[in-house]
Amino acid sequence: MRNPFLFISIGLILIAGNLAAQEQENRRQFQVETAAREALVFTPAKARSEKTPLVFAFHGHGGTMKNASIAFHLHTLWPEAIVVYPQGVKTPGRLTDPEGKRTGWQARPGTQNDRDLKFFDVMLADLKKEFQVDENRIYATGHSNGGGFTYILWAERSDIFAAMAPSASTRFRELGPLKPKPVLHIAGEGDDLVKFEWQKMTIETLKTLNKTSSAKDWPKGKYCKIYDSTDGPPVVALIHPGGHSYNREAPEAIVAFFKEYPKPVKP
């Protein structure tokens, strides 16, 4: 007769082994000048000994790092990567919340004393001290106000990143020129906050920047079209039929896109 306790013990050992291999959630504080800032950081077990991709994911206006980790869930789709969900602080919104009662990110370079750019710099420096961050595979994504901040990072910290994936946002004119870079832009045809027309103009600007050609289906993501370039990086547009809410198809497309586009190897 089989011993049921033996099978239970083996099962518990296997579960424990799987959990040890998965990413560990860690609520971390980062000192940014006189302010203590927070982020939710998921790290794979081998991040201290092996080169590891690094992804920053920024919530929208009024969001939290915890809710972003649930909605984006990039760490579950790419457990081999370090995934950081930073926490925004009270910020006046460009389209809503002019009094700044809700959490968010600076809307343009130079505002709020560049507090969020400084926050990013501190996070990156601290993580690179602790983990073996792969310099060729650092990425940023974000939704709405977090997508706008992704564009700010592209403009102000471009050389750090391999690729970007903004969602439900637009590249405001105040930003400086962007350097060509692989980009996946996510937009809802029914977006009544960050108007779909604005986002289409942004996608056209990105296509011009990257010198892309005509579109074809991108098989790695639902609703995705890729605009390849013979003289630069591609643009992928994920245009879904929904509104301003974060699209549930986006995380898998973002992870597939980031995996496909590390920084080019220099000759």
Q: Given a cut of 70, is residue 43 above it in pLDDT?
A: yes
The reply to whether 2 falls in a domain is: no
Give the β-pairing of 35-43 and 89-90.
unpaired
The reply to whether 12 falls in a domain is: no
By residue range, what is the domain housing residue 121? 30-260
pLDDT the model gives residue 267: 60
The pair of structure tokens assigned to 238 is: 């994920």
- Contact between residue 39 and residue 244 where contact means Cβ atoms under 8 Å apart: no
Question: What are 150-155's contacts with CB under 8 Å, separation 24+?
Answer: 150/58, 151/175, 151/178, 152/105, 152/106, 152/108, 152/109, 152/116, 152/117, 153/56, 153/117, 153/120, 154/178, 154/179, 154/181, 154/183, 155/109
Specify the CATH number for the domain of residue 168. Answer: 3.40.50.1820
pLDDT tens track for 156-202 = 999 999 999 999 999 766 677 899 999 999 999 999 999 999 999 99
Arithmetic mean of pLDDT, 47-75: 97
pLDDT tens track for 88-118 = 999 987 778 888 889 999 989 999 999 999 9
Q: Strand, coil or helix: what is 66?
A: helix
pLDDT the model gives residue 130: 96
Alpha-helical regions (H) of 37-131 = 65-72, 74-77, 115-130
Residue 83 C-beta-side C-alpha neighbours within 13 Å: 29
Domain count, the chain: 1
The reply to whether 103 falls in a domain is: yes
Arithmetic mean of pLDDT, 197-215: 93
The reply to whether 197 falls in a domain is: yes
d(CA 149, CA 105): 6
The reply to whether 169 falls in a domain is: yes
pLDDT tens track for 27-36 = 999 999 999 9
The reply to whether 14 falls in a domain is: no
- Give the torsion through C-alpha atoms of 207, 111, 29, 19, to 10 deg: -20
The reply to whether 166 falls in a domain is: yes
Residues in the chain: 267
pLDDT, the chain, mean = 90
The reply to whether 4 falls in a domain is: no
- Contact between residue 202 and residue 168 where contact means Cβ atoms under 8 Å apart: no
Phi and psi at residue 138, to the nearest 5°: -115, 130
